[in-house]
Each structure stands twice: as structure tokens, then as C-alpha cells.
């Protein structure tokens, strides 16, 4: 048995020992978006440091708890705080929670993030349903020996974000008066925000938003056969005329202000699942 399989089975056994129910839906809450957790009817919350083999989130805006409970009557497991490659974790550590969710029974993964807008038509506070991503600037979490128990050696990535889930989000947004953009997420490692030239390059390569998370998680979820829906909250604009000095505090504030729209979108999507 490989080390990663052993760790996953050990952590799965620990969590099933304290929470016997099977969550069908997994949720990852990004920077400044952790308050969605208040809308989960919580049945068990575990700090990351109490979970065997789990990394610990180090970034402001990430609370660091695994939450089991229900949303719209559906069993869910939510990460209030994710892990990033820029924190010094390996790609394998970053995606460990996604693999764990699959081992726990999750079939559908909902992902959120705070992202920089590079599409000139976007505004701060917009939500963007991710329709695809560009991952060339990110370390692929599947590098190394493939574990067939986790997924195939060469997973197909022609539809990393489920088209039916995107369609449902568009219908929900239209019916709820929420402006929902669509676009391509360009993944980078961070932790630096992009230069002006980098924002322009990302835009010209086809990116509509850029961020430091999500891509590795989505690759892993697809590798394991999960359906994925993901939404970016546009918290800053990289392409604009004035000086584009961006701070993490501003990102968190913009995310918090947009969070009620994301909460409505995810809650109603879960109702439809």
C-alpha cells in the first residue's frame, strides 16, 4: 500500500469514527468566503489540526475547520479554509482534502475562490462561473507514480467543470437577480499579485480571471471522477488605467461584500442536486 493511500484510509477511518453519515456534496470555501459556513446546519466541526494527516491553513481569511452537516437537507462536508501551493505545501498536500472527500463519499464538488479580473468587462464584486481553466503555470498534482485506486494515469480534462451544473447556476442566477459572468480561470502559484504585463498576457492567452488556488483541486476531483462546479468572486481588477496596487485586505473585503450572492447561488444549486 502506498503512503498516500494509507494516509487517506487512516484519515477516512478517523472521520467515519466521529461522523457516520455519508456526504454526497463537498464544498471548498475560498479567501473571505468562509461565512457560507454559517448557512450549513452544522452537525460536527473539526479543526484541521485535530485531523490526522491534514495540513493546517496559514492564510488570513481561512478559518481552518472541516464542517459536516446539511444544506437544503443534503449532507455536505465543507472546508472553511483551503491550502495553497504558495504556503509551502506540496501539490499532493494541497489536494489531500479533495481526495479525502471522495473517500468519504462525495460525488459533487463545489469550489469558490477570490480572483483578479482580467476581462475588461468585469467589475469588482462580480461572480464568475468557471467554464474552463488554464493550468500551465501551476504544478500538476498528478505528477509522479499514478495510483490506479485514485484515478487513471491520463485523465480527460475536456470538461473539468460540469456543463449541467453551469447551466443550473445560470438558471439560478437569472431567477435570483444575480449577475453571473462566465469565463476561464487562469491558475498561478502566487503569492505575489500579478504585474501589469502578466495581467495583459493572461488576458491575451484567454484568461478572464486569475487566482492562486482551485486548479490543482479541480484536476484532482476530475481524476477521481467527481463532478465540479466552481465560482470566482472578482475581488480586484488587474487591467485598469489607474495604478493597480492590490492588497490582501482589499481582496477579503470585496469577497465579504459579494458573499451573500455566492451563498444564494450555492444553496439553491445544492437544492437542485
Run means of pLDDT, 10 residues per run, the chain, 273 residues:
94 97 95 78 95 78 82 95 92 97 98 94 93 96 96 97 98 96 97 92 97 97 98 85 66 77 94 94
What CATH number is associated with residue 208?
A: 3.40.50.1580
> Within 10 A of 30 (CB to CB), how many other CB atoms are there?
29
Burial class (CB in 10 A: 0-12, 13-18, 19+), 267: middle
Total Cβ atoms within 10 A of residue 19: 18
Q: How far is CA 191 from CA 84, 95, 213, 267, in A?
A: 9, 18, 10, 30
Q: Contact, 142 vs 273, CB < 8 A?
A: no
Instruction: Name all contacts of 174-179 with Cβ < 8 Å and 24+ positions apart.
Output: 176/264, 176/265, 176/268, 178/127, 178/261, 178/264, 178/265, 179/126, 179/127
> Quick one: pLDDT at residue 52?
96
Q: What is the pLDDT of residue 28?
A: 96
Residue 130, all three cell numbers = 468557471
Torsion from C-alpha of 208, 210, 214, 216, nearest 10 degrees = 100
Q: Comparing C-alpha atoms, which of 133, 269, 107, 118 is closest to residue 214?
A: 133
Q: What pLDDT is recorded for position 236?
A: 86
Q: Which three cell numbers stand for residue 171?
A: 438558471
Counting the structural domains of the chain, the total is: 1
**C-alpha distances in Å from residue 258, one per residue of 5, 52, 127, 194:** 38, 34, 8, 22
Q: What is the predicted pLDDT for the residue at 249?
A: 77
Host domain of residue 249: 3-272
Residue 98: per-residue pLDDT: 98
Cα–Cα distance between 141 and 219 in angstroms, integer? 8
* Predicted local confidence at residue 57, as pLDDT: 62
Amino acid at each position: 500500500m502506498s503512503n498516500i493511500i494509507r494516509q487517506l484510509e487512516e484519515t477516512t477511518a478517523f472521520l467515519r469514527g466521529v461522523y457516520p453519515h455519508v456526504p454526497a456534496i463537498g464544498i471548498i470555501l475560498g479567501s473571505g468566503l468562509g461565512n457560507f459556513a454559517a448557512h450549513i446546519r452544522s452537525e460536527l466541526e473539526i479543526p484541521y489540526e485535530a485531523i490526522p494527516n491534514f495540513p493546517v491553513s496559514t492564510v488570513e481569511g481561512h478559518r481552518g475547520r472541516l464542517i459536516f452537516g446539511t444544506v437544503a437537507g443534503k449532507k455536505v462536508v465543507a472546508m472553511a479554509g483551503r491550502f495553497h501551493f504558495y504556503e509551502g505545501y506540496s501539490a499532493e498536500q494541497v489536494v489531500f482534502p479533495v481526495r479525502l472527500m471522495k473517500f468519504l463519499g462525495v460525488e459533487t464538488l463545489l469550489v469558490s475562490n477570490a480572483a483578479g479580473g482580467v476581462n475588461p468587462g468585469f467589475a469588482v464584486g462580480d461572480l464568475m462561473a468557471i467554464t474552463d481553466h488554464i493550468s500551465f503555470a501551476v504544478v500538476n498534482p498528478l505528477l509522479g507514480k499514478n495510483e490506479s485506486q485514485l484515478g487513471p494515469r491520463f485523465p480527460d480534462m475536456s470538461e473539468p467543470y460540469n456543463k449541467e451544473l453551469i447551466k443550473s447556476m445560470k438558471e439560478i442566477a437569472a431567477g435570483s437577480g444575480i449577475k453571473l459572468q462566465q469565463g476561464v480561470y487562469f491558475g498561478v502559484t502566487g503569492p505575489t499579485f500579478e504585474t501589469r504585463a502578466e495581467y495583459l498576457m493572461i488576458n491575451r492567452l484567454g484568461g478572464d480571471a486569475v487566482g492562486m488556488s482551485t486548479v490543482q483541486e479541480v484536476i484532482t476531483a476530475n481524476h477521481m471522477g467527481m463532478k465540479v462546479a466552481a465560482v470566482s468572486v472578482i475581488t480586484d481588477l488587474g487591467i485598469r488605467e489607474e495604478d493597480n496596487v492590490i492588497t490582501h485586505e482589499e481582496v477579503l473585503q470585496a469577497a465579504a461584500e459579494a458573499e451573500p450572492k455566492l451563498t444564494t447561488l450555492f444553496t439553491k444549486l445544492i437544492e437542485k442536486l
